[in-house]
C-alpha cells in the first residue's frame, strides 16, 4: 500500500512552475533526439541512411536549428498538460483511496495513466502541430508557426485532423501502464530491499528503467500515432510518411507489410537514449527550483543546500508561516516602541 505524499512547504503554483521549468529545460536539451525519433517513426527520407545520417543530412539541408523543430510547441504544451494531469490525478487518486487514505500501487499507476489520458486528449492538437512542424522543411515551410499551423490544419482538413492518431495514443497507455507496474512490483526483488529504503539514486534508476520498459512496450502505438499525425494530402509527399494507409488498423498492417514487424519500433534507439539525460536534467532542475522556493518561503537558509532555517516549524504551510511571521512582527514592534519610550 502507498499513501499520497507531497511537500506542503511548496504551494501548488510553485510546484507547477518548478515542473514546467524543469520539463522545458529537459525537453530543449533532448530535442534533437526527440526529433530523430519522430522522423524515424514517420519514415521520412532523412532516415534512409540511419539515425546518424539523418542528423547529418538534416543539418546540411536545413541548418543546425532544424534539430529543434517543434520544440517550442512541446514546451508550450507542458503547462496546460501538467496542470490538467495534476488536477485529474488528484481527483482520481482521491477516488481510488480506501477509507484509511491508502492506495495500492496498481491503483496509483492506473490513476496516473487515466490522468495522462485526460491531459493527452485535451492538449492533443498541439502534439499534431508539433509533428507537422518537425516533418516539414524549415527552409520551405508549409506552416509559418504554431498558430498558422493550427489555423491551416483546421481550415484545410477540419477539426478531426487535429485529433488524427488519438486512438493509438489512448490504446498505447495500456501497455505503458502494464510495463510501469511490472517494473514497480519487481523492484523489491531487483534491489533485495524494501521500496521505502531506496536512495534517491535508486529511485532515479527505477524511474529510468520503468520508462524504458513502458516506452518499449507502447512504442508501436506511438509509431502509428506519428504516421497518422504526419500524413496529409496538403503536405509535400503526404508529410513524408513511408507508407500510405486509411486508418489506424491499416497503418499497422501497411507498416508490417512494407517495413516488417520491427518497423513498428523504428526510432526506439534515440527514444531510449533520451531517457537518462531527460530525467536527469528534469529531476535536478526540479530539485534546485524547489530549493529556491523553500528558501523564498523561509524554510531553508540557502537555495544551495537543504539546511533548515532555525526556529521554523517545517510542518507549517507557506501561508501559515507568513501569517506567523507577520504576527511575530506585529508583537515585536509594540515592545520595541515601549522600550524606546
Q: What are the pLDDT digits (tens) for 38-77? A: 999 999 988 888 888 899 999 999 999 999 999 999 999 9
CB 182 within 8 A of CB 218: no
Q: What's residue 335's pLDDT?
A: 56
Higher pLDDT, 320 or 60: 60
Q: Where is mean pLDDT largest: 70-84, 105-119, 200-214, 306-320?
A: 70-84
* Range name among 162-171, 179-188, 272-281, 328-337 with the lowest pLDDT average: 328-337
Q: What's residue 3's pLDDT?
A: 41
Q: Where is mean pLDDT largest: 59-73, 298-312, 321-335?
A: 59-73
C-alpha cell at 226: 506519428
**Does residue 2 register a pLDDT over 60?**
no
Query: What integer is the mean pLDDT of 253-271?
Result: 96
* Range name among 111-125, 236-250, 288-302, 326-340 with the lowest pLDDT average: 326-340
CB 22 within 8 A of CB 280: no
Q: What's residue 23's pLDDT?
A: 93
Which stretch of DSSP H or E encloses residue 122?
helix 105-135
**Does residue 25 register a pLDDT over 90?**
yes
Q: What's residue 4's pLDDT?
A: 42
Q: What's residue 316's pLDDT?
A: 87
pLDDT band at 235 (very low <50, low <70, confident <90, very high): very high
pLDDT band at 199 (very low <50, low <70, confident <90, very high): confident
Q: What's residue 334's pLDDT?
A: 59
Q: What's residue 181's pLDDT?
A: 81
Q: For each of the domains in the chain, give its residue range(s) and CATH number, in order of start.
A: 12-333 (1.50.40.10)
Sign of the CA dihedral running 17, 20, 21, 22: positive
Distance of CA 263 to the CA centre of its chain: 25
Q: How far apart are CA 206 and CA 193, in angstroms?
A: 13
**Does residue 29 register a pLDDT over 80?**
yes
* Range name among 155-159, 197-201, 255-259, 267-271 with the lowest pLDDT average: 197-201
CB 192 within 8 A of CB 244: no
Amino acid at each position: 500500500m502507498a499513501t499520497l505524499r507531497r511537500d506542503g512547504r511548496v504551494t501548488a503554483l510553485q510546484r507547477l512552475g518548478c515542473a514546467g521549468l524543469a520539463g522545458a529545460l529537459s525537453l530543449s536539451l533532448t530535442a534533437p533526439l526527440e526529433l530523430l525519433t519522430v522522423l524515424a517513426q514517420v519514415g521520412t527520407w532523412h532516415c534512409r541512411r540511419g539515425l546518424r545520417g539523418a542528423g547529418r543530412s538534416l543539418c546540411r539541408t536545413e541548418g543546425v536549428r532544424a534539430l529543434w523543430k517543434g520544440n517550442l510547441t512541446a514546451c508550450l504544451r507542458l503547462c496546460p498538460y501538467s496542470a490538467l494531469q495534476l488536477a485529474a490525478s488528484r481527483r482520481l487518486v482521491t477516488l481510488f483511496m480506501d477509507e484509511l487514505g491508502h492506495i495500492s500501487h496498481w491503483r496509483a499507476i492506473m490513476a496516473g495513466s487515466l490522468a495522462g489520458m485526460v491531459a493527452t486528449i485535451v492538449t492533443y492538437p498541439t502534439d499534431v502541430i508539433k509533428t507537422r512542424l518537425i516533418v516539414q522543411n524549415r527552409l520551405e515551410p508549409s506552416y509559418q508557426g504554431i498558430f498558422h499551423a493550427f489555423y491551416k490544419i483546421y481550415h484545410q482538413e477540419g477539426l478531426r485532423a487535429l485529433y488524427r492518431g488519438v486512438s493509438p495514443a489512448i490504446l498505447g497507455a495500456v501497455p505503458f501502464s502494464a510495463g510501469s507496474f511490472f517494473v514497480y512490483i519487481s523492484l523489491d526483488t531487483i534491489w533485495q530491499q524494501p521500496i521505502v529504503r531506496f536512495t534517491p539514486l535508486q529511485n532515479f534508476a527505477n524511474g529510468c528503467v520503468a520508462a524504458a520498459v513502458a516506452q518499449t512496450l507502447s512504442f508501436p502505438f506511438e509509431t502509428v500515432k506519428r504516421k497518422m499525425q504526419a500524413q496529409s494530402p496538403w503536405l509535400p509527399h503526404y508529410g513524408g510518411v513511408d507508407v500510405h494507409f486509411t486508418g489506424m488498423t491499416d497503418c499497422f498492417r501497411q507498416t508490417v507489410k512494407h517495413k516488417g514487424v520491427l518497423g513498428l519500433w523504428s526510432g526506439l534507439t534515440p527514444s531510449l537514449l533520451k531517457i537518462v539525460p531527460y530525467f536527469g536534467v528534469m529531476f535536478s532542475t526540479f530539485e534546485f527550483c524547489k530549493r529556491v522556493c523553500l528558501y523564498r518561503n523561509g524554510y531553508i537558509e540557502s537555495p544551495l543546500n537543504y539546511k533548515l532555517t532555525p526556529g521554523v516549524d517545517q510542518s507549517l504551510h507557506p501561508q501559515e508561516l507568513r501569517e506567523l511571521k507577520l504576527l511575530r512582527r506585529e508583537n515585536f514592534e509594540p515592545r520595541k516602541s515601549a522600550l524606546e519610550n
